[in-house]
Structure 1
Amino acid sequence: MAKRAPWPMVVPAGTTTVGTARVRDDSRPAMTTAQRRIYELTGNPPQTSALDDVEDPFPAHRQHPATLGAKKPAKYRNTKREHEGIKFDSKREMSHWFHLVEQQAKGLISDLKLQVKFELTKRNQRDDGTWERASSYIADFTYIRDGKLVVEDVKSEITRKNGKYVQKRKDMLERYGITVKEI
């Protein structure tokens, strides 16, 4: 095992290496990793005199691309849409709404509704006095066809496999006897 130098270690000025370690130049304080990451995310420079240096690699006047308003894409890559004040979670959902409106105009379906809430479990109090929240399922569309209530949900292949959705779909069948039709 190598013998260590006594602490505090004194390094003479002008020394560039001690053993295999490189000696940092104290004339210009560097940004810490945390300061650099904050700068990269926000574009706000840390409060150091190093940013006054002409050779500074992080000029304060330059705006970082992360702060230019780039939006994070949606989890399932859907594109939210709005038509006549009605907000839709995807282009596909909006397209299906137009199809259902057309069917209602032809008289094939009736009582077309959007975003209908079904209560699956009621709010209950636990033994320790705290409350368990109620759970609900919000269907994209409901309508009546041939005297029977139809519940439809626009789902992609990925969202059909979502565990929470699958459980709520099963609860709808158990509690209301309604099979959710996936589009």
Structure 2
Amino acid sequence: MDGYTFDSLSEARRYGELKIEELAGNISALKVHPRFCLDVNGVHVCDYEADFTYCRNGRFVVEDVKSTATVTRLYRVKKKLMLAVLGITIQEVYGT
């Protein structure tokens, strides 16, 4: 869809919803699969690739479409690192 490859139908559907919200002016600056570098004390630990980022009501949102199968131990560690290193809380959207 729009040249992007999505990991699931739920993620593709969410992209469609966010595009509609962007066109309606409810969100802005929609990005697909942005990467975040997670470094601790000058050491690169890992990268985190979100599903989407956007601005809503002046607030930066990092969003990940999840299912019970995709909430892995690695994801939970990266989620904690995003908060600890960058001060960003990932908003999880559970797909169908």
Structure 2 length-normalised TM: 0.88
Cα distance in 1 for residues equivalent to 2:56 and 2:37: 22
Tell me, which stretches of 5 or more residues in structure 2 are unaligned? Answer: none
Q: In the alignment, is residue 141 of structure 1 matched against residue 52 of structure 2?
A: yes
Tell me, which stretches of 5 or more residues in structure 1 are unaligned? Answer: 1-82, 125-132
Give the structure 2 partner of residue 170 of structure 1: 80
Give the structure 1 partner of residue 91 of structure 2: 181
TM-fit CA distance, 1:84: 3.4
Aligned residue pairs total 92
Q: Runs of 4+ in structure 1 displaced over 3 angstroms?
A: none
2:47 is paired with a residue of what secondary structure?
strand
TM-fit CA distance, 1:85: 2.0
Q: Higher RCO, 1 or 2 (CA under 8 Å, sep at least 6)?
A: 2
Aligned counterparts, 1:101-140, within 5 A: 101-121=19-39, 124=43, 134-140=45-51
TM-fit CA distance, 1:121: 1.8
Structure 1 length-normalised TM: 0.48
Higher helix share: 2
Larger Rg: 1
Higher strand share: 2
Give the structure 2 partner of residue 3 of structure 1: none
